[in-house]
A and B are shown apart, each in its own frame.
Chain A
Amino acid sequence: EAGVAQSPRYKIIEKRQSVAFWCNPISGHATLYWYQQILGQGPKLLIQFQNNGVVDDSQLPKDRFSAERLKGVDSTLKIQPAKLEDSAVYLCASSSDRTVDTQYFGPGTRLTVL
């Protein structure tokens, strides 16, 4: 079974630029999560999707961050414009259903904002 796929693995941009990250969850997994992990901290949930609907985006900075999962499979997270403090690893995770506790994480995208 293929795991959670993410791309790109690394991205370097300048502040005020835009960036997008892509995630493809494990096949058949209905629930998809985006986390932000700043160096030295634990992952922080940004948004949770169930199929193509948003279940929880209470911690997503909506003035600059957006995410979509249009067909209920893969997802895109966008930052526009980026700030220095957005430098982090962006992790995508999936689970078979939102009631299932086990989440499988992708390899992450390391973002550096200069």
Chain B
Amino acid sequence: QKEVEQNSGPLSVPEGAIASLNCTYSDRGSQSFFWYRQYSGKSPELIMSIYSNGDKEDGRFTAQLNKASQYVSLLIRDSQPSDSATYLCAVKSFMVGGSQGNLIFGKGTKLSVKP
């Protein structure tokens, strides 16, 4: 069973701090990695994708990937109360019996940014 693991939290950080969210995955053959943000009662929204080892920055968000360690993380700089949400890590993997690479999601980490 291919798995994506995340700490469910909640992770609480003060406004303006850096929030660090972590994710590990079991399928060593995975090539595509994603971070989705999900506000309470809403649907997931893609915020970052990363495909190569190293860092990828987009505004206040930085995704980090280490394929050797099977580890992907998301850093949120200058955290704002509006960043309070559940962050889902997703890995594109091939299912047993399936023909296509599809997303496997972790359970998500709930982030709370305190004013």
Enumerate chain B residues within 8 angstroms of A102, measured Cβ to Cβ.
46, 49
CB–CB A108/B105 < 8 A: no
A-B contacts counted at CB < 8 A amount to 55
Complex: A41 Cα to B88 Cα, angstroms: 9
A19 at the interface (CB under 8 A from B): no
Task: Give the bracket for the number of chain A residues in contact with chain B.
Answer: 20 to 34
Number of interface residues of B (CB under 8 A): 26
* Contact mask for chain A residues 31-65; partner B; CB cutoff 8 A; 1 contact, 0 none: 00100000011111100100000011011000000
Q: Which residues of B contact A (CB under 8 A)?
A: 4, 8, 32, 34, 42-46, 49, 88, 90, 92, 95-100, 102-108
What are 20 A-B pairs with beta-carbon distances under 8 A?
A41-B105, A41-B108, A42-B4, A42-B88, A42-B105, A42-B108, A43-B88, A43-B103, A45-B95, A45-B103, A55-B100, A56-B95, A56-B98, A56-B100, A56-B102, A58-B95, A59-B95, A91-B44, A105-B43, A105-B45
